[in-house]
Amino acid sequence: MLEPKNNNELPPIPPKRYFTIGEVGELCEVKPHVLRYWEVEFPQLKPVKRRGNRRYYQRQDVILIRQIKSLLYEHGYTIGGARKKMSDNPEELTKTNVNSSEVKSLVRDLEEVISRL
């Protein structure tokens, strides 16, 4: 769903467990108020909420947001059309579209950890 050319334009997703709404905004180049709106419109997008109602997004949430952004901004879908497309193809949501630089970075990090052990 997310085309490889678009992945290269966005910064790589760091190997973290949780991201704040500000971090996700920077990773996906979307403002925080848009992310909060998308939570209402897309039932698949459910960040963890902790004390003070602070949102913490996981890696799959960031990938989902990038897919939503691609459908809306690059493919020209309306909110309703994007919601329908995503609910029609739930198996596509579980596929992670990771670019090769992210994989290489993760492999280097893992090799470094292994060498320290």
Q: Which of 27, 52, 25 is nearest to 37 (CA)?
A: 25
Burial 94-104 (b: 16+ CB within 10 A, else e): eeebebeebee
The contacts of residue 31 (CB under 8 Å, 6+ apart) are 25
Q: What is the pLDDT of residues 19-58, one digit of tens each?
A: 999 999 999 999 999 999 999 999 999 999 988 889 999 9
pTM value surpassing 0.75? no
Structural tokens at position 19: 């991201």
Q: What is the pLDDT of residues 58-111, one digit of tens each?
A: 999 999 999 999 999 999 999 999 999 988 865 554 454 555 666 777 778 888
* Residue 81 CB neighbours (<10 A): 13
Q: What is the CATH number of domain 4-116?
A: 1.10.1660.10
The single-letter code of the amino acid at 65 is: I
Structural tokens at position 85: 């497309």
